[in-house]
Amino acid sequence: NINAQGGVDLSKITAQGYMDQKLTQVKGTEDRKTIVGQGDQDVRKIETTGSEERKNMMQQTTEEGKTAARQSKYARGLAGMF
């Protein structure tokens, strides 16, 4: 009877181990998909942020150029007064 029970227990443990292994594989696959999806989102966010920063830098450069031109014009006007 003990041998029979041991065989049943062994079968249950083997089946449970198999199920645990398969569940771990499925979870691993799902985790990889989630990570890839998150990575894609992160890349899009970085691209968007970079694009916005470039636009802001271009606008800032334009404004600085206009300010420099105004200051130069003002300085030339003052130099002509002396």
Each residue's pLDDT tens digit, 7-38: 899 999 999 999 999 999 999 999 999 999 99
Residue 78, amino acid: L
pTM: 0.51
**Token pair in block for residue 19:** 């199920």
Mean of pLDDT values over 56-78: 91
